[in-house]
Chain A
Amino acid sequence: MTYIAKPKLHHPTLACNAIGFTRRDYEGKISTLCAGCGHDSISASIIQACWELDIEPHRVAKLSGIGCSSKTPDYFLGQSHGFNTVHGRMPSVLTGANLANRDLLYLGVSGDGDSASIGIGQFVHAIRRGVNMVYIVENNGVYGLTKGQFSATADQGSKSKKGVVNTDSPLDLVGLAMQLGATYVARGFSGDKKQLVPLIKGAIAHRGAAFIDVISPCVAFNNHAGSTKSYEYVREHNEAVNRLDFIDVRAEITVDYAEGEIVDVTQHDGSIVRLRKLSADFNAHDRIKAMNYVHAQQAKGEVVTGLLYVDPDAHDLHEHFNTTEVPINRLGAKELSPGADNLAKINNSLR
């Protein structure tokens, strides 16, 4: 029950981050999702990523649409403002919020029904605009809250719990995101937090539209044999193209890797995303090749995970719009009204 508050007792030995917060300070209300739900692991990864990055929780705005995934922002970052919008329309609300105050961190959480079906239009256009955000889709191929209907990311031929075979071709969100100009595109698996946490950290540090598709099995309706979004299937077919370490701008780089296996990507804030290559054929800097690779592997039934594409020099919507450094929600009449003298001039021009 979301209205039951968690006890506020903190264990005295809980580790604090650089700004004095423990992981508990990044938690939210108790989850009401099913036990074992992949979404809860993603919430835990978001908490871990924000804690490790020393983010002030209240400087995050978390937005979502409707569905199981969209309920999760209530279960992390309890000191952040949250906005559970309408079905499929989180991207537009996030875009408007971002325009109002460029200084906050915008975290959009959505599902495959929310983003790939009803909200595909808004997903597409928010990515196209380069809104500075972390957009996470918790992708389970199924409508959980309405009990098991296929979503638009369900693979063709995959079976529902009731044995119905999906005949529609699937929408591939990472492929779309790359094509539409997202400047940080990743896919993770809720069952692999070690991979997911750095992917989220890299996305947070990225300026521009960062998209992470997280395969997140639905234990209630889509975790059976014949499903391509079950824990078992994804574990068997997970092809991680790289492992990612996120190195904070302040941290000293001490680990040595053999040359040729690693690529350092310096983001605009100076932080480094260090990619350890697992697949020799894969290059996360070449958008077209990355798209081809992901699609080729997908055709073989593999689930490609890792950081799929990154453009560290990306621009965001505020740069396109040339908006003031000062968030526009802080501007008052003095800055916004052109004044009575100018109005008199305007009146004169209309005579």
Chain B
Amino acid sequence: MTAHRSPLPAHRLSATNDFVVKFANVNGSGSASANELFARSILRMGVPVSPRNIFPSNIQGLPTWYEVRVSERGWLGRRGGVDLMVAMNPQTWDADIKEIEPGGYLFYDSTRPLPASKFRDDVNIIGMPLTAICNSTYADARQRQLFKNIMYLGALSVLLGIDAREIKRLFAEQYKGKEKLLDSNMQALELGREHAAQHLDPIGLHVQRADNVGEKIFVDGNVAAALGCVYGGATVCAWYPITPSSSLAEAFQKYCMKYRVDAESGRNRFAIVQAEDEIASIGMCVGAGWNGARAFTTTAGPGISLMNEFIGLAYFAEIPVTIIDVQRGGPSTGMPTRTQQSDVLACAYASHGDTKHVLLLPEDPHECFEFSAQALDLADRLQTPIFVLTDLDIGMNQRLTAPFQWDDRRDYDRGKVMTAEELEAGKDFGRYKDVDGDGIPYRTYPGTHAERGAYFTRGTSRDPYARYSEKGPDYVYNMERLLRKWDTAKSLVPQPILRGTGGEAHDGVIYYGSTSPSMAEAIELLGKQSLVLDTLRVRAFPFPDSVGEFIRQHERVFVVEQNRDGQLRTLLINEFGIDPARLVAVLHYDGTPITARFIAGAIAARMRPAKVKENAA
């Protein structure tokens, strides 16, 4: 059998270390590990990549994609467009073909001939009879399927010039001690490579060794946040399975088993409960936090909705708890396997009555690690729920990121906890009394002292000594104190990051979270069109005063978000009392990660409406 060959069109995309490869696969076919090897082998050549899983809410059978952006410059946002499509799924064939850039490449399994109408004239076709090769090589059905993936990896390595030694090293690391698996994978790789070398025409996309990866690590945000919780001293994790957050709790379990088992006794220095639902998850965290353990839960939007009553209790009764929300497409069940930043308002003002909650907004896995550890400190310091808002794009995709750091001298900030000695010495204890003027009262752990320091925790209003009270002045004292605490929080949370032009720009951009890599690239794209902007990456709510200043200093501020309603913009308007007309929403919310092209296009259209119209015409 020979590969399908069509005459190559005149135009062939040509790029080195700067292109996008997309794999269209069937869920459950074992493609994920081959695709990851593809990305990693390029990384090992010193060339930055950013892969993204685009997967269904399904275990087997539905379409799934893996999109790898190769960028020597280190742009990690989604670019948009596809230069090389590895089309392994007949179900999505037509849509996949459409996505290829003119002059791009289509790699497909040519075992069964396809009519010419199934192809595009302006796309270069690379057919390889993968099924036929596998069927003649392997007898076992599962092997035929699995090694098909390794075989296309081999072929791609030849076409793109990926150093096969890097793939082999990765195999060796992966199958250490499993020599049989190592050998069979090596063999499949070689088969793929041999076929490509003998039968396939060279293409215009190439990987060339570079030195742009450096010390960076390749990890997803859920693993990073889990590690942050391990290092930050979380001992209780109560959670309920929900996409896209489940792998966070599972990673926490994995690292605890490795690093938190007492060597002498073999006993665990952690407790992980898979609860019956999200209400119980947060309830357990509240109980553990009340009793002096560092507790966190991890969830997604629907879980936040269920947790609302407890979040209000923790706010009002002032109990530390950390909630990591890996956001997905809402509302309701929404798009469970797609990304969004649409829980911002639901978290900021969660629960009935007057409430406000601290939100931390990491941009990448590195900050997922940092902010998760910091959230545990902040929860204890501020005695309140702390939300870490990541999203599916950061949480479930491996991203090139700065290595994790930990200073062994760092101790946990357990906040204001009155000790048995202080109580014994007669120090006045009013659980809800503002003694330091920062709005943060002292607390005691249960069981501290025989006669002093006990109090009754409740969701009802109370006086400064925790005695039940529905008197107006007692209630107002408490609510005002909570606002003072809110002010204190402004200086404790991660401060925004300003990238200014030094007064040149009249316009500004505010953005946060996973929009970050695409924003950096968009600013460069805009700069090429002589459109300059100052940028401010907001990293937390409450907003420090510098956020308000940034808005005041600019005639117009674009607020770039991945939701329909401009939720952070609403928060900015509400908290600063800003004229909404000055904040221009730039919104991307179809569930795919925002791209630099989209941001630059949307902002350019507003900065130069006339010119863009001319171009469009």
Contacts and interface: CB of A to CB of B under 8 A. Distances in A.
A and B are interacting partners? yes
Interface string B209-226: 000000111110000000
Given A80-B454, A336-B260, A328 B270 contact: yes
Interface string A96-108: 1111110110000
Contacts of A92: 238, 275, 279-284, 286-287
B446 A93 contact: no
Interface in B220-267: 227, 230-231, 233, 235-236, 238, 255, 258-260, 262, 265-267
A148 interface: no
Interface in A311-351: 318, 321-325, 328-333, 335-340, 342-343, 346-347, 350-351
A347 B265 contact: no
B307 to A, nearest CB: 11
A96 B281 CA distance: 9
B291 A322 contact: no
Nearest to A80: B454
A154 interface: no
A79 B235 contact: no
A168 B293 CA distance: 42
Interface in B450-479: 450-451, 454-460, 463, 467-469
Nearest to A59: B447
Nearest to B373: A337
Contacts of A324: 262, 265, 267-269
Contacts of A322: 266-268
Interface string B435-446: 000000000111
A236 B270 CA distance: 50
A321 B267 CA distance: 9
B279 A346 contact: no
Contacts of B218: 350-351
Given A82-B456, A92-B279, A328 B293 contact: yes
A61 B281 CA distance: 20
B271 A99 contact: yes
Contact of A346 (B43, B227, B445): B227
A337 B233 contact: yes
Given A79-B450, A103-B447, A121 B406 contact: no
Contacts of B272: 321
Contact of B259 (A94, A331, A342): A342
Interface stretch (A83-91, A215-223, A246-254): A83-91
A228 interface: no
B217 A84 contact: no
B231 A321 contact: no
A146 B455 CA distance: 26
B293 A73 contact: no
A84 B456 contact: yes
Nearest to B287: A96
Interface size on A, as a range, is: 35 or more
A148 to B, nearest CB: 22
B457 A81 contact: yes
B128 interface: no
B288 interface: yes
Nearest to B445: A329
B561 to A, nearest CB: 29
B303 to A, nearest CB: 14
B412 A332 contact: yes
Contacts of A80: 446, 454
A343 B280 CA distance: 32
Interface string A71-82: 001100011111
A3 interface: yes
Contact of A101 (B216, B217, B262, B291): B291
Contacts of B451: 58, 79
A330 B411 CA distance: 14
Which residue of A80, A93, A122, A339 has the most chain B CB atoms within 10 A of its CB atom? A93
B455 to A, nearest CB: 7
B450 A328 contact: no
Nearest to B262: A324
B69 to A, nearest CB: 19
Contacts of A89: 279-280, 283, 309-310
A96 B286 contact: yes
B277 interface: yes
A103 to B, nearest CB: 7
B273 A99 contact: yes
Contacts of B279: 89, 92, 122
Contact of A121 (B233, B262, B277, B467): B277
A96 B408 contact: no
A316 to B, nearest CB: 12
A331 B236 CA distance: 12
A89 B311 CA distance: 13
Given A100-B235, A321-B271, A332-B412, A86 B459 contact: yes
A100 B269 contact: no
Given A81-B457, A332-B412, A125 B287 contact: no
A239 interface: no
A86 B291 contact: no
Given A93-B286, A104-B447, 12 more contacts: A80-B454, A92-B283, A93-B283, A96-B284, A97-B288, A122-B283, A129-B273, A323-B268, A329-B288, A333-B411, A340-B407, A351-B216
Q: Which 7 A-B pairs have the closest CB atoms?
A: A92-B283, A96-B287, A96-B284, A100-B293, A81-B446, A93-B287, A329-B292
5 contacts: A80-B446, A92-B238, A94-B287, A335-B269, A347-B215
Interface of B: 43, 215-219, 227, 230-231, 233, 235-236, 238, 255, 258-260, 262, 265-273, 275-277, 279-293, 295, 309-310, 313, 403-408, 410-412, 444-451, 454-460, 463, 467-469
